[in-house]
Amino acid sequence: MGKARLRLFNLRPRKTATVVTVLTGSTISLLTLAILFAASDELRDGLFRIEAIQRQRRQAEAELTEVQAQKKAIQGDLAEAKTELAAAQTRLTRINQSLSRAIARQQQTQAQLNQVQAKFQQAQTGLQKFSQQARQLRSEISRLGAERQRLTAQRNQAQARLRQAEVEQRQLGTFCDSDTVQSSRWCEHKETSWSAS
């Protein structure tokens, strides 16, 4: 070993130097590891509990995957709810347009009725001749009034459904953004009740 040419177990000096180097490195490594073990509780816990930690990590990854899948499903339900809301708004717009046309027809009919009544006052001598026309006009007015009431009721129902859908959509957007299992179950329940209605 070096110039001393030391020998261990009758080994050649070069092999003796190799053995001494290996033993020295191993001793240093063992001493370093022993010092680290003595100084760090976390290192000891980590080394002896590494299998449990890895198992917990795999479990956490599985739970994260499940939560992400639930979040994606909730986002899909929310998109479907928004689509249904847009369709409801479109239907409500059409109902409002129909109601506006019905009101315009009713106003036009009312104007015509006023004209007929004015002429009726001016032409009392022709009462029998125009009495049938007056009855027909009153019947038309009654029919239009009934139609207006029906359309108004339909509009009110549609607006109530729309407001309810908007409230539930806002509630769904608030509670379903979280990634908890409880909120996902709540959102699934709300989506089921919404679809049923």
- pLDDT tens-place values along the chain, 197 residues long: 444 555 555 666 677 778 788 888 888 988 887 787 777 777 666 666 777 778 888 899 999 999 999 999 999 999 999 999 999 999 999 999 999 999 999 999 999 888 888 887 777 776 676 677 778 888 888 888 898 999 999 999 999 889 898 888 888 776 555 544 444 555 555 555 545 45
Distance of CA 131 to the CA centre of its chain: 64
In angstroms, rounded to a whole number, what is the distance separating the alpha carbons of residues 65 and 183?
16
pLDDT of 165: 87
User: What does the DSSP 8-state code read for residue 8?
Assistant: S
pLDDT of 62: 92
The predicted model scores a pTM of: 0.30
Q: Are 33 and 49 contacting, i.e. CB atoms less than 8 angstroms apart?
A: no
Other C-beta atoms closer than 10 Å to the C-beta of 195 total: 11
pLDDT of 2: 45
- Annotated domain spans of the chain: 1-42, 70-197
In angstroms, rounded to a whole number, what is the distance separating the alpha carbons of residues 141 and 113?
9
* Sequence-separated (6 or more) residues with CB below 8 Å from residue 51: none
Angstrom distances, CA of residue 70 to CA of 73, 74, 113: 5, 6, 63
